[in-house]
Amino acid sequence: MERRLVWYKNMMLAGNLAANLCGIALVSYFLTRPFSGFSPVAWDLRQQLGWIFDPIALAAMVFLNFYYERPIRRFVNLQREGQSISGDLALRARQRVLNEPFFLMALNFCFWLLAGGFYATAFLHLGLGMEAVRSGILRSLFTGLVTIILAFFVLQFLKQRWMAPYFFPRGGLYRTPKTLRIRISTRLVAMLCACNILPLLAILYIFHLSPFAASAKSRTFEVLSSAVTVDVLIFITLGIVLTILVSRNLSRPLHNMIDVLRAVQHGELEKRVQVTTNDELGYCGDVINEMTQGLEELDFIKDTFGKYVSQEVRDEILSGDVPLDGETKEVTILFADLRNFTLLVETLPPRELVRIINFYFTEMEKIIHAHHGLVLQYIGDEIEAVFGAPLAREDHAAMAVQAALDMQQRLQGVNETLKQSGHQPLLHGIGIHSGRALAANIGSPNRLSYALVGETVNLASRLQELSKKYDNRIVISQSTRDKLNGEVRLKPLPQEKVRGIEHSVEIYTPVA
């Protein structure tokens, strides 16, 4: 690990030095002395000056590289020592990592321009002629172009292969502010320059500007030079056209994918990638479309789930914050039951009955959800709801009682609507009890439901049955009353013996 961290610190420096050495070697190979434009005296003088200028320039380049990499090296050193890294230092180090290829390419080109100026000035001062001056400038310029293109690809490889995974283990490179981005078109232009334009320009230089071209006056050389010039121009033009076509063929589907993914990020799941190829890009487009369709189906399931529970509860359950494998909770249970429902079944057509019962359930459910309750199930004409689960609430008893009062009031509006349709009014009774109950996912492996079980649930159901005896009023238990803190005026009812409970139960009803 220690050796790897040292490698991370010096990786870009080593890659840049390697690119410069390769650039010098390539240019020296293409432009040997007979084709370089230098006379033997100028060539020897350039070699001697190089032993002075090149080490100084190299040392200055390394110093500036080290200076630029200070945040990067500080980041690596602190991580190697196991110390904490501030957010500001981490951000600056990541910005330097992403921008370093551009910095080093600019640095390389500036030094090679400086080298061209240095050699040209020296040749001019020593009286070696304009041919040597021009050759010194062109050779340095050509070496600089070759070097920055080599550095472009070498540094990009090092950044993507090692630096980015180390400094961005969770990705997010695109979100790093104040950084330059290398687009696909930029990479293709660099490839065009490396494999097409620069080599062909070197050939043109040999045939037109080198001393070899000046000394070769034969008819054959002139014909060959003209043919080479035409071919070079044709190949450069063809390379530019092909680069533009390939760039557009790559960027268009990628932009389409980015647009679709951005739409998905903002919750728009209906967009699809237009797939036009059967290569890797086409495969990526098909995968994105399959993913979007899957997200659309999940969103539909989520919305459907929200019809069975409140959105608040749905979001908590889907986020994994609510344990569904069983827990004992302090809750308030509410049961509401329609009266004379059997008579309605016998007297009304099935479609009309379903419409009325659904209308009633819809209006009651709105009230329950408005008071942060959860409808657990509809049992025939009965509603079972819970307050305080799965999301815990301190005021679950008050919420349940207030929901019951609002349900009574909303029932009057429901009956007004039914009366206008020629139907008899509905009556319901409500029982409420607070206590501890087991909340869990209950059922078979193929079908589960969120349910509450225990004596609290049974007593709430019994209180709902008792409401028939008291003109279908709201009947609440002593336990619920104790949790209201006087928030609702209550009237005591006679103690009742409830089935399944050994002792008599104190019950109350709210006073309007």
Contact 152, 190 (CB under 8 A): yes
What would the mean pLDDT of 429-454 be, rounded to a whole number? Answer: 84
Give percent of the chain with pLDDT exceeding 70: 88
Residue 45: the pLDDT is 74
For residues 481 and 397, give the distance between their C-alpha atoms in angstroms, rounded to a whole number.
8
- What does the DSSP assignment read for 92-160? HHHHHHHHHHHHHHHHHHHHHHHHHHHHHHHHHHTT--HHHHHHHHHHHHHHHHHHHHHHHHHHHHHII
* Domain-wise residue ranges, the chain: 1-174, 323-510
Highest mean pLDDT: which of 167-171, 331-335, 345-349, 485-489?
331-335
**pTM of the prediction?**
0.60
**For 182-201, how does the pLDDT look when each residue is reduced to its tens digit (9 = 90+)?**
888 888 888 898 888 888 88
pLDDT at 350 over 80: yes
CA distances from 115 to 129, 453, 465, 477 (A): 18, 86, 99, 95
CATH number of the domain located at residue range(s) 323-510 in this protein: 3.30.70.1230
pLDDT at 355 over 60: yes
pLDDT: which is higher, 120 or 507: 507
Question: What is the dihedral angle through the alpha carbons of 418, 419, 421, 425, rounded to the nearest 10 degrees?
Answer: 40
Label residue 359 by pLDDT band (50, 70, 90): very high
Mean pLDDT, rounded, of the chain? 84
Among 19-33, 344-358, 440-454, the minimum mean pLDDT is found in 19-33
Indicate the burial class of 318 (C-beta count within 10 angstroms; 0-12, 13-18, 19 or more).
middle
Residue 499: the pLDDT is 77
What would the mean pLDDT of 379-389 be, rounded to a whole number? Answer: 91
What would the mean pLDDT of 45-74 be, rounded to a whole number? Answer: 87
The residue written with tokens 């790093």 in the block is 176
For residues 492 and 424, give the distance between their C-alpha atoms in angstroms, rounded to a whole number.
31
For residues 71 and 92, give the distance between their C-alpha atoms in angstroms, rounded to a whole number.
6
Contact 474, 404 (CB under 8 A): yes
Contact 366, 287 (CB under 8 A): no
DSSP at 325: S
pLDDT: which is higher, 316 or 234: 234
Q: Pick the closest to residue 111 from 135, 134, 145 (CA basis).
A: 145
Nearest 5°: the CA angle 114, 181, 3 is: 75
pLDDT: which is higher, 64 or 268: 64
pLDDT at 215 over 70: no
What would the mean pLDDT of 158-162 be, rounded to a whole number? Answer: 89
Residue 314: the pLDDT is 63
pLDDT: which is higher, 506 or 471: 506
Residue 382: the pLDDT is 93
Residue 433: the pLDDT is 95
Highest mean pLDDT: which of 3-12, 218-227, 465-474?
465-474
Residue 365: the pLDDT is 92
Label residue 322 by pLDDT band (50, 70, 90): low
What would the mean pLDDT of 272-279 be, rounded to a whole number? Answer: 89
Which residues, listed in sequence order, are joined to residue 8 by a DSSP beta bridge? none
What would the mean pLDDT of 280-300 be, rounded to a whole number? Answer: 87
Label residue 234 by pLDDT band (50, 70, 90): very high
Residue 40: the pLDDT is 66
**For 106-140, how does the pLDDT look when each residue is reduced to its tens digit (9 = 90+)?**
999 999 899 888 888 887 887 777 777 777 787 78
**For 23-50, how does the pLDDT look when each residue is reduced to its tens digit (9 = 90+)?**
877 766 655 545 455 566 666 777 787 7
